[in-house]
A and B are shown apart, each in its own frame.
Chain A
Amino acid sequence: MKMILNMDYVKKSAFILTIVATMAFISGVLMAADLKDVKKKGVLRHLGIPYANFVTGAGDGMDIELMSHFAKYLGVRYEYIATDWGDIFGDLTGKKVKPKGDDIEVVAQAPIKGDIAANGLTVLPWRKKAVDFSVPTFPNQVWLVARADSAVKPIKPSGNIAEDIEAVKKIIAGQPLLGKTGTCLDPSLYGLENITDKIKLFPGSLNDIAPAVIKGEADLTLLDLPDALVALQKWPGKIKVIGPISDKQDMAAAFSKDSPQLREAFNRFIRKIKKDGTYVRIVKRYYPYVFDYNPEFFRGSK
């Protein structure tokens, strides 16, 4: 008797196999690595964007050092993966998102390129929707910064941040303001679009905002604390801090929601280096003056 191939069966099998393979591929592509994957692969991929002294762009920075130590902590190799503000979460989670108030909108799928994102990432409500954050790694606040010769005068602190914020908003009212979407400097995060219609979104790097103000591209800009401290240090007498536009914020490392173990491992790592002094040493190297400015954040760290 002759065996006759059942072509239908073959086709079905191939199809199923293809689907499975594709799904496997997709899952491999679409699913971020968790701790065991990182260990299995033997490399920790750090997604970073040159910003202030978190990632200086010269190969060092506070977050680069933290991540390097974390990789060592895990026993894996460290690898830096450059990204930008628009792609960072997509590179981390596989989903490219855009903020929509406190929520997000997935705009596309993207290949996962990294295991952890850290470059002075402020913990924002919408970002929490996209990623999971570690325990805070740095204090932050968004300030209104003006050029030194601007007519805008810094507020007199009232001792109440909310009141101070309101005072600042009054100053902003109707004034041209520089900001940057997708970051903590997005004016919409603070409802500033309702105060002034002269918002200008900066297209360049966050590091270039202060120089742009100094140049006169704008009188006012939003700057977060670290960047403001750096700018004050770099261009003393050129800019002035008017006041806060946000409450105190935290910066932290971001993880895919598929990497809980990795995040937990990082949290353990942060707690460890806060105890053994490594964390403070690293922070001092890049932000030596932040301790005086925000001592309560670093209380408990050696």
Chain B
Amino acid sequence: MRVGGMEKTTLKQIPAFYRKLLILGGSVAAVAFVFFLLFMNYRFAVDLRGTNLKNMKAETEKRAASIGFFFADRRDDLINLALSREISVFFENKALGMSMEYGLKYSLAPILDRFQDLVNRKKLGSDAVYSRIMLIERSGAILVDTLTATGHKGTREGLQELLVPNYRDGTILSVDGGKEIVVSLSYFFKNRYDGQIIAWIQPQTLYKNIIGEGGSPSDISILITNEGKTFQSVGVSFPSQIAGLPNLAALTPGEPSEFRDLNGERQSWIGLKTPINGTPFHLLRLIAASNVVGKLTPQYLLTTMGVIALVLLGGAVFTIILTVRAKEALRESERLMSEIIDFLPDATLVIDKEGRVITWNRAIESMTGVKAEAMLGRGNYEYALPFYGERRPILIDLALHPDREKEKTYTTIQRMGDIIFIEGRLPALRPGNVHLSATASVLRDSGGDIIGAIECIRNDTDRKRMEERLQRAEKMEALGVLAGGVAHDLNNVLGVLVGYSELLLREVPEGSRAGRFAKSILQGGERAAAIIQDLLTMARRGVSVSETINMNRIVSDFFKSPEFERITQHHPDVLFRSQLEADLFNIKGSPVHLFKTIMNLLANAAESISGAGEVTITTENRYVDAPIPGYEDTQEGEYAVLTVADTGAGIAPADLERIFEPFYTKKVMGRSGTGLGLAVVWGTVKDHGGYIDVLSKENKGSAFTLYFPATREDLSKGEQDLSPDEYHGRGESILIVDDVEAQRMLAATILEGLNYRVATAASGEDAVAYLRVNKADLVVLDMIMAPGIDGLETYRRILEIRPRQKAIIVSGFAKTDRVGAAQKLGAGEYVKKPYVIEKLGIAVRKELDRE
């Protein structure tokens, strides 16, 4: 793959061994990196723990220093008081000997004012620092007490022990079991210890503003002092959380210590004891261990994270394995899908959004002759080349890039949403003139976005051909029905013309003028009848295929016939040859129609040659073990094949499709027959259950090959000619049943002329009614009668009243199943109209004579 003009190697391009090596190396590196991160995290946690402890220690020391400064300020307060004029005046007055009663007491008032001012003025924030300041005489007498001066009663217990001359610089003490914090300063007047100034500090002010500033239930700071061997709290009681503290004396000042499972609870604390300079106190700070070092020790963290990392890595490996398996499954699925597409019977082409071929299956390889390797990845309409010989958009491109205007230019294109369908012939596609039907559609992903397009192409040339043939057959059938209908009506008319002209010819002297006229009329009628027969034949209603015949004999008979004589006379430069297979299969058919078929083919072949040429008629046995595609498909079976080939002008491809249509002729009308020659050939072949194949090339000639299904039966014996006496009547009674009066009259006249007694009925019902009360030796029964019951039903009803009634069936149409049914009931011959006296007479006589 090119990227930026350089070849970029993808993982797939790397050999599998090196790829695995790469993956393994990468995995090892990833694992090593993870454990490196864990170790670094552990180290970080340890360092962080150490840093936090240091910070805790520094912060605590800072707080302790603040407390120390606070107490230093308190000492200074008392020192300043001691230096005040008010106190010195008192002691001066006292030294003068003044008594309290007389004047000395008055000196205490300013001292009280001074003390009171200090109490009121000294604050931390809004909190008073001092709760009480007292001046005690050396004797222990309270000289000044800010508390009692305000009317409060203050304790006087324990004051004696505060009279300590050594507290020259002010001493911070806790008294009353640690409940109170006092500053005690020894007062010296003229270097003589004369008393003590004592100030009580409000513990809550100290705790609120300095000691416990920023504290919380998990961060406790408390002043402690050791009273004897145990430490006790100063100013406040030990909080309940730390009530179960171990001996705090064991704490090394300035070194954090951890207390685990303190007081039966599971919380760990870190304690730090820091001395307060200038006081007997320590600041004890207890912080919940989780606040300093986190809830997890570094070891625990390492272990936990290690386990998590292992789980994650394991999960990643598992995910990778699943992903690999999923990819493999996907690849397998894709491969399967690819194989499915590859083996689709329809030629299938898939392109991506950019028009590059991504699938080119076997069927399209076979259709186009282009291998997949030559097409995959190609774009620029490469795929159009095999079909059109040029690069151009094809159906799949219309699906991918709909163009309604372009679609309108196609007549056979249909669209249903994403799916587009087209059919047509592609001359450029081998073997040529191929009919294809193609369906194309866009391909969308799960999000509905177009990712490509697919086209499936089917070569339905054969189907199309069969369709056309079917259409042609249906057309021929329709034409046949039309022709048959016309012929039937004409036949009735001609029957009268021919019949009466024949009768007339018998009545008038031979050679007379009237006789010539009658003969002309008869011949004209017979020609018309021939045309009608051709029409009927084309309509497939006039062929009897019950006789076992051999085509060679018919060919031989034709070559001896006047019809062939006429053809050769018309085409003297045409050489007629025959190549007849000696043991040609017999077939079941009608010699007359086959004779006519051969005649029509040879006549056409001769007429297609202008000047000199050859017409060859060939017969052969042929076994078809697979359908032979051709003009029409010849199915499997044994055939006696007749071929008439010429070296004539050939038939244009456009005409080839229509040559079997009635009256589709380029020949001069009147000269070469009825214009129904090939139509008759077609009808005859179809009536014989055969197939026609036509090969023709313009200016080269044509070959008509007729396939007649072979039979293993022996040849039928030929009909013997009978004299009229042999089919005269003996006065038997005959009932003529025909819905056409002229036909009834004609038949009656013929039969009466043959010495029969004739009665007529105009309908089947009339015939039944007649026979109820009358007898008839024979019924001449027309098959097609309308309205009313037809010949079969009439005969059925007749048999109910006359079970052994003899009858023959007559009709202007070909023998039908109903005729066959009537014959099965017991009817005799089937006589085809128009009536021929001999045929009618023979049939009547034969039936009357039948036992």
Instruction: Please tell me which one of the listed residues A154, A164, A242, A293 contacts residue B105 in the complex, with CB atoms under 8 A apart.
Output: A293
Instruction: Please tell me which one of the listed residues A153, A232, A242 contacts residue B107 in the complex, with CB atoms under 8 A apart.
Output: A232
Instruction: Please tell me which one of the listed residues B85, B97, B108 contacts residue A292 in the complex, with CB atoms under 8 A apart.
Output: B108
Point out the residues of chain B lying under 8 angstroms from A228, CB to CB: 103
Min C-beta distance of A151 to chain B, whole Å: 11
Contact residues of B between 93 and 126, Cβ < 8 Å to A: 93, 96-110, 112-113
Instruction: Please tell me which one of the listed residues B102, B105, B110, B112 contacts residue A143 in the complex, with CB atoms under 8 A apart.
Output: B102
Min C-beta distance of B108 to chain A, whole Å: 7
Min C-beta distance of B148 to chain A, whole Å: 11
A25 within 8 A of B: no
Interface window among A59-67, A125-133, A205-213, A233-241: A233-241
Q: For the side of the interface on B, what is the size category?
A: 20 to 34
Docked-complex contact B96 and A148, CB < 8 angstroms: yes
B793 within 8 A of A: no
Docked-complex contact B109 and A232, CB < 8 angstroms: no
Contact residues of A between 150 and 191, Cβ < 8 Å to B: 153-157, 164
CA distance A153 to B97 in the complex (A): 6
A232-B107, A289-B106 are contacts. A237–B92 as well, Cβ < 8 Å? yes
Min C-beta distance of B96 to chain A, whole Å: 4
B531 within 8 A of A: no
Docked-complex contact A154 and B92, CB < 8 angstroms: no
Contact residues of A between 273 and 294, Cβ < 8 Å to B: 288-289, 292-293
0/1 per residue, B465-496, Cβ < 8 Å to A? Answer: 00000000000000000000000000000000
A236-B85, A236-B92 are contacts. A154–B106 as well, Cβ < 8 Å? no
Min C-beta distance of B120 to chain A, whole Å: 15
Instruction: Please tell me which one of the listed residues B98, B106, B113 contacts residue A229 in the complex, with CB atoms under 8 A apart.
Output: B106
Point out the residues of chain A lying under 8 angstroms from B100, CB to CB: 157
Docked-complex contact B102 and A241, CB < 8 angstroms: yes
Docked-complex contact A237 and B96, CB < 8 angstroms: yes
Docked-complex contact B105 and A240, CB < 8 angstroms: no
B236 within 8 A of A: no
Point out the residues of chain A lying under 8 angstroms from B113, CB to CB: 288
CA distance A155 to B109 in the complex (A): 22
0/1 per residue, A233-257, Cβ < 8 Å to B? Answer: 1001100111110000000000000
Point out the residues of chain B lying under 8 angstroms from A243, CB to CB: 99, 102
Docked-complex contact A236 and B107, CB < 8 angstroms: yes
CA distance A292 to B143 in the complex (A): 12
What does DSSP make chain B's interface, helix, strand, loop or mixed? Answer: helix
Instruction: Please tell me which one of the listed residues A233, A241, A288, A292 contacts residue B98 in the complex, with CB atoms under 8 A apart.
Output: A241
Docked-complex contact B102 and A154, CB < 8 angstroms: yes
Point out the residues of chain B lying under 8 angstroms from A292, CB to CB: 105-106, 108-109, 112
B89 within 8 A of A: yes
A143-B103, A157-B101, A228-B103 are contacts. A240–B93 as well, Cβ < 8 Å? yes
CA distance A229 to B93 in the complex (A): 12
Point out the residues of chain A lying under 8 angstroms from B89, CB to CB: 236-237
CA distance A154 to B105 in the complex (A): 14
Point out the residues of chain A lying under 8 angstroms from B97, CB to CB: 153-154, 240
Docked-complex contact A293 and B106, CB < 8 angstroms: yes
Closest to B96 in A: A240
Docked-complex contact B109 and A288, CB < 8 angstroms: yes
Closest to A223 in B: B103
CA distance A153 to B102 in the complex (A): 12
Among B89, B96, B109, B112, the one with the most A-chain Cβ atoms within 10 Å of its Cβ is B96
Docked-complex contact B96 and A232, CB < 8 angstroms: no
Instruction: Please tell me which one of the listed residues B85, B99, B112 contacts residue A154 in the complex, with CB atoms under 8 A apart.
Output: B99
A236-B85, A236-B89, A236-B93 are contacts. A241–B103 as well, Cβ < 8 Å? yes
Point out the residues of chain A lying under 8 angstroms from B105, CB to CB: 292-293
Point out the residues of chain A lying under 8 angstroms from B110, CB to CB: 233, 289
Point out the residues of chain A lying under 8 angstroms from B108, CB to CB: 292
What does DSSP make chain A's interface, helix, strand, loop or mixed? Answer: mixed
Docked-complex contact A154 and B96, CB < 8 angstroms: yes
Min C-beta distance of A244 to chain B, whole Å: 6
Point out the residues of chain A lying under 8 angstroms from B112, CB to CB: 292
Instruction: Please tell me which one of the listed residues B93, B104, B106 contacts residue A237 in the complex, with CB atoms under 8 A apart.
Output: B93
Closest to B85 in A: A236
Point out the residues of chain B lying under 8 angstroms from A148, CB to CB: 96
Min C-beta distance of A139 to chain B, whole Å: 12
Closest to B101 in A: A157
Point out the residues of chain A lying under 8 angstroms from B103, CB to CB: 143, 154, 228-229, 232, 240-241
Closest to B102 in A: A241
Point out the residues of chain A lying under 8 angstroms from B96, CB to CB: 148, 154, 237, 240
Closest to B92 in A: A237
Closest to B108 in A: A292
Min C-beta distance of B745 to chain A, whole Å: 168
Point out the residues of chain B lying under 8 angstroms from A289, CB to CB: 106, 109-110
Docked-complex contact A156 and B99, CB < 8 angstroms: yes
0/1 per residue, A4-35, Cβ < 8 Å to B? Answer: 00000000000000000000000000000000
CA distance A292 to B100 in the complex (A): 11
CA distance A77 to B92 in the complex (A): 47
CA distance A289 to B92 in the complex (A): 18
Point out the residues of chain A lying under 8 angstroms from B98, CB to CB: 154, 240-241
CA distance A153 to B95 in the complex (A): 11
CA distance A67 to B99 in the complex (A): 34
CA distance A53 to B103 in the complex (A): 17
Point out the residues of chain B lying under 8 angstroms from A229, CB to CB: 103, 106
Min C-beta distance of B203 to chain A, whole Å: 30
Min C-beta distance of A5 to chain B, whole Å: 78
Closest to A141 in B: B102
Closest to A146 in B: B96
Point out the residues of chain B lying under 8 angstroms from A155, CB to CB: 99, 102
CA distance A236 to B88 in the complex (A): 9
Min C-beta distance of B17 to chain A, whole Å: 108
CA distance A125 to B106 in the complex (A): 28
Min C-beta distance of A280 to chain B, whole Å: 14
Point out the residues of chain B lying under 8 angstroms from A233, CB to CB: 106, 110
0/1 per residue, A92-109, Cβ < 8 Å to B? Answer: 000000000000000000
Point out the residues of chain B lying under 8 angstroms from A232, CB to CB: 93, 103, 106-107
Point out the residues of chain A lying under 8 angstroms from B109, CB to CB: 288-289, 292-293
Closest to A154 in B: B97
CA distance A146 to B433 in the complex (A): 157
Min C-beta distance of B519 to chain A, whole Å: 177
Closest to B100 in A: A157
Point out the residues of chain B lying under 8 angstroms from A244, CB to CB: 102
Point out the residues of chain B lying under 8 angstroms from A154, CB to CB: 96-99, 102-103
Point out the residues of chain B lying under 8 angstroms from A164, CB to CB: 101-102
Point out the residues of chain A lying under 8 angstroms from B101, CB to CB: 157, 164
CA distance A110 to B110 in the complex (A): 44
CA distance A243 to B113 in the complex (A): 25
Among B103, B109, B113, the one with the most A-chain Cβ atoms within 10 Å of its Cβ is B103
Min C-beta distance of A288 to chain B, whole Å: 7
CA distance A155 to B110 in the complex (A): 23
Point out the residues of chain B lying under 8 angstroms from A157, CB to CB: 99-102
Closest to B107 in A: A232
Point out the residues of chain A lying under 8 angstroms from B92, CB to CB: 236-237
CA distance A44 to B544 in the complex (A): 174
CA distance A1 to B262 in the complex (A): 139
Point out the residues of chain B lying under 8 angstroms from A240, CB to CB: 93, 96-98, 103
Min C-beta distance of A177 to chain B, whole Å: 17
Residues of B that sit less than 8 Å from A by CB: 85, 89, 92-93, 96-110, 112-113
28 A-B pairs with C-beta separation under 8 A: A143-B103, A148-B96, A153-B97, A154-B103, A155-B99, A155-B102, A157-B102, A229-B103, A229-B106, A232-B103, A232-B107, A233-B106, A233-B110, A236-B85, A236-B107, A237-B92, A237-B96, A240-B93, A240-B96, A240-B98, A241-B98, A243-B99, A243-B102, A288-B109, A289-B109, A289-B110, A292-B109, A293-B109
Instruction: List 4 A-B pairs, minimum CB-CB distance, nearest first.
Output: A241-B103, A289-B109, A236-B89, A240-B96
In addition to A157-B101, A233-B110, A240-B96, 5 A-B residue pairs with Cβ atoms within 8 Å of each other are: A154-B99, A232-B107, A240-B93, A289-B106, A293-B105
